[in-house]
Homo-oligomer: A and B are copies of this chain.
């Protein structure tokens, strides 16, 4: 996907030249100019670790295109991914010195970064940036708690279905709607990265994907390209008592 596509499809704020829903949905023109003055872009390749846990972070950033993970590693190597970052998602905590997690690009990735010090000053002058950050953080907290239910109580099959549903939903938001609850997308994660996010092994991930394919819940073309013929069926498999409200 090109940057232009993101600019075209991401939720935008009208006047903002970079259109970060993250920070500028309610920005005035002069605030946008201030943001522009402290921003810079960085791009990364799939597989690259952008930030190591414990690193000093002198910027905050939002994802322009691509997907990244937030990952924790125990001393003995056990790995758990604690967050997925899609375009428009925000990384970094104002007021924090050091990164708490590894941030890893799982696809080619473009980030829009803001130097932390001036960003914090701008926050001080511009209350709605802080408000927006609070909203986003609360949303992330909800997502983390939903994932806790998945990690603690769902079966391997339900976990895979849940992940596919979420990736599809986030990805499809960037594309035109397909007819009749159908959904088509590319998995932005390797089997191993999926396993680390779901608290499984990559073998179990592979087996369950094969099973969902055998049962007609999904279709696969290659290893990454997924077609979901019936999104509601997928949600049932995910064990969500949730809405299913994506395709109304």
Contacts and interface: CB of A to CB of B under 8 A. Distances in A.
A199 interface: yes
B241 A74 contact: yes
A38 B10 CA distance: 40
Interface string A73-95: 01110111011000000000101
Interface string A197-212: 0110000000000000
B72 A145 contact: yes
A142 B99 CA distance: 12
Interface residues of A, number: 38
Nearest to A195: B152
Interface stretch (A11-19, A110-118, A131-139, A218-226): A131-139
A127 B127 CA distance: 7
A95 B142 CA distance: 14
A7 interface: no
B134 A80 contact: no
Interface in A107-161: 127, 130-131, 133-135, 137-138, 140-142, 144-149, 151-153
A37 to B, nearest CB: 23
A100 interface: yes
Given A72-B145, A131-B130, A145-B144, A79 B153 contact: yes
A44 interface: no
A111 to B, nearest CB: 20
A185 interface: no
A27 B114 CA distance: 31
Nearest to A72: B149
A239 interface: yes
20 contacts: A70-B145, A74-B153, A74-B239, A75-B239, A79-B153, A80-B149, A80-B153, A95-B135, A100-B142, A101-B145, A127-B127, A130-B131, A134-B134, A144-B144, A144-B148, A148-B148, A151-B152, A152-B198, A152-B199, A153-B199
